[in-house]
Structure 1
Amino acid sequence: MRALVTGISGFVGGHLAEHLIDSGDQVVGLSASGRWSVASAHLAESVRLEAFDLVTDSVESLSRLIARKQPEAIYHLAAQANPSASLDDPRGTWGLNLGGTMTLLDAVRAAGLDPLPRVVLVGSGVSYGNPAPEDLPVSERCPLRPNNPYAASKAAADLLGIQHALSYGTPVVVARPFNHAGPRQEDRYVLGSFARQVAEVERGTRPRIEVGNLEVVRDFTDVRDIVRAYRLLAEHGQAGEVYNIGTGRDESLASMLETLRRLARAPVEVVVDPARVRPVDQPLLLADASKLRSRTGWEPRLSTEQTLADMLDHWRSALGDPS
């Protein structure tokens, strides 16, 4: 399959590119910078990277690129993907997350390919906000009640994709992943931060780790399982439909931190830093992914402990493992 991936140089994009290549696909990636990150530099030998900014570059130039590359599947990952950062820059978040999606979908229509490529539009489970207890686990029928600019902009982009499918026949499938983590995740995300700090305590460069609200419960899925779901949706998802991706397991940040402490090679002291506590935070968010499983046969394969062990190993390597 010929695949085009926006935001390919990011955390999820790198893992998706690896999975697509392992599946025998030909992959072209788009990145605003036109450069690989250090963590994804190994992909340069097997993936063609094109510089394209979904906010500032034109629909016409992207449509020409799509017509030239003739992808059979497009995975739209490019986004401002940090809820906390979206509170600091809501306008920029909306510009990329909704405006960039509009640029992509308009370019797909203008490219004139026949058949049109399947577009896997990546949304977010946080668009459901803080569901009522009777709505848990959260199915695709749950109302969207986003409580930060990131969640709201992703919800709007989902609706735009569905509108394109219904109005223009663009084969858009909306993937709505819940929290995910894995090796190479940046430390601006909670589990990436935990893993890096534990690795630093092991090295003796940090006396303790600092955390926010550990009572938050999340449905975490390994990023390598998430990207498998994306490709399955490209093959089998129904256009105009939304599919949640998650394990349905309720795991607190406290329990995951304890797993990392158990995996650590040195004792790890924990202190709560008020600056790390979000002004708005969902206390419980679990996915009902039965629609995805029924449509594609997807099941998560990697345990939380395996995910955390791999993340810790990544940071040990990135920081220089003293052992």
Structure 2
Amino acid sequence: MPHRALITGVSGFAGGFLAEHLLAAGDSVLGWAPDGLWTDSSPPSIRGRVPLIAWDLGRAEELPASVRQEVERFAPDVIYHLAAVSTPRECGEEQPTQAAVAVNVGGTRRVLDLANALPSRPRVLVVSSNHVYARVDRNSPRVDEDAPLAPRTAYGRTKLAAEEEVRRAVRRHGCNALIARSFQHTGPRQQAPVMLVDWAKQFAQGGSGPVQVHTCDAHLDLCDVRDVVRAYRLLAEHGEPGEVYNVGSGVSRRSGDILDAMRRLADRQRPVDEIHPGFKQEPIADVTRLVLATGWSAAIPLEQTIADTLEWWQRRVRGSGFRVQDGAATNS
């Protein structure tokens, strides 16, 4: 059935794809961005159909009355809370920055407080991260939602604290909220400094110099963002209040194999420079709980994700006039 959905972080990477998916499903969408503005990568398909409201979740001030009235008029029955500070530069390496705590933890609390205060009493899907899990063993990397939690990064620590805000709101106020623990997801339009995006950008810029990679022996769970946002909507419809759900492919991928697939599409002859060679094991999602609750499964092959991401960066580089000649970057 159609929903009335409010998305925090709608101008971000996953937020844009979620808005597209919800609109295609017949939902009405209201977007929430810190400055009330779209980014340059926000797709035209949502700019004219999703009204934006501005509220900086990192600021402790009360929600402006005009914004609250607009949300009340819209009367969402679902809030998708995606807004977060995630990059190490903004979030911190091991200990979170004040900005990260304010947005990721305080912002989550403010979204839950708003949901509790709205007459429509919407369901709230809070997006967390696989970074909350403890280090895994290379021989048993698969984790379900009851696996040990011991985040090693600043981002993971703020996400675990945000999860506690959800549990507190459910326990104390009966908030209709649930948690999606997302594993790494990627695809076209992503601009964050993450593995596949960094490689696609380097290949798209051309040149004969080596493509720099951290390691070809990292093992991770990588999913297409378009599959991930499908899972979010299904969880909003079928998930249990207070429950946690892993959202990932459930498949262990080796970074070197992913790189080889991109080289076959872009440039087989480009050399590779491993900056930090060595084995690295990331958690792999056990998605049994998600599948049982929703029937979801990943539908987009990794090869398509790689091809679509590379093509998006090739078009972006061509549009900017950026190219590399003899190892030197130039703008035409």
Structure 1 and Structure 2 fold alike (TM over 0.5)? yes
Equivalent residue, structure 2, for 1:191:
196
The 1-side partners of 2:262 and 2:184 are apart by 18
**What letter matches 1:99 in structure 2?**
G
Does the aligned pair in 1 maintain the 2:58–2:99 contact within 8 Å?
Answer: no
Asked if 1:91 corresponds to 2:94, the answer is no
Q: Distance in 2 between matches of 1:309 and 1:57?
A: 42
Matched, 1:226 2:233: no
Given candidates 158, 169, 194, the residue that maps to 2:163 is 158
In the alignment, the residues of structure 1 paired with residue 193 and residue 304 of structure 2 have an alpha-carbon distance, to the nearest angstrom, of 21
Give, in angstroms, the shift of residue 213 of structure 1. 2.5
Query: Do the aligned partners of residues 249 and 84 (structure 1) sit closer, same or farther apart at CA in structure 2, a change above 3 Å counting?
Result: farther
TM-score (norm 2): 0.88
Bigger mean CA offset, 179-188 vs 85-94: 85-94
State the SS of the aligned residue for 2:262.
Answer: helix
Could you list the runs of 5+ residues in structure 2 that have no partner in the other structure? 322-332
**How many residue pairs were aligned?**
313
User: CA 1:225–1:32 in 2, change beyond 3 Å: closer, same or farther?
Assistant: same
Shift of 1:284: 2.7
1:38-187 equivalences under 5 Å are 38-42=40-44, 43-56=46-59, 58-61=61-64, 63-83=68-88, 85-87=90-92, 90-111=97-118, 113-114=119-120, 116-132=121-137, 136-187=141-192
Secondary structure class of the residue paired with 1:320: helix
Aligned to 1:309: 307
Cα drift, residue 65 of structure 1: 4.1
Mapped contact 1:187–1:194 kept (Cα < 8 A): no
CA distance in structure 1 between the aligned counterparts of 2:51 and 2:60, rounded to whole angstroms: 19
Aligned with 1:39: secondary structure?
coil
Structure 2 residue aligned with 1:19: 21
- Please give the alpha-carbon distance, in whole angstroms, between the structure 2 residues aligned to 1:289 and 1:265: 35
Aligned-pair CA distance for 1:51? 1.2
- Indicate the percent of aligned positions where both proteins have the same amino acid: 37
Counterpart for residue 35 of structure 2:
33
Counterparts of 1:284-295 in structure 2, within 5 Å, are 284-295=282-293
SS at match of 1:4: strand
Once residues 134 and 264 of structure 1 are traced to their aligned partners in structure 2, the CA distance between those partners, rounded to angstroms, is 33
* Corresponding position of 2:9: 7
Partner residue of 2:295 out of 294, 297, 306 = 297
In 2, distance between residues paired with 1:220 and 1:50? 32
- 2-structure distance, mates of 1:198, 1:318: 12
Distance 1:119 1:134 in 2: 36
2:35 and 2:55 in contact (8 A); partners too:
yes
CA-atom RMSD, angstroms?
Answer: 2.1
Mind listing any 5+ residue stretches in structure 1 that lack a counterpart? none
Supply the distance in 2 between the matched residues of 1:148 and 1:282 (Cα, whole angstroms).
15
Question: Alpha carbons of 1:269 and 1:308: their partners in 2 closer, same or farther (altered >3 Å)?
Answer: same
Q: Post-superposition shift, 1:154? A: 0.5
Deviation at 1:302, TM superposition (A): 0.6
Structure-1-length-normalised TM-score: 0.91
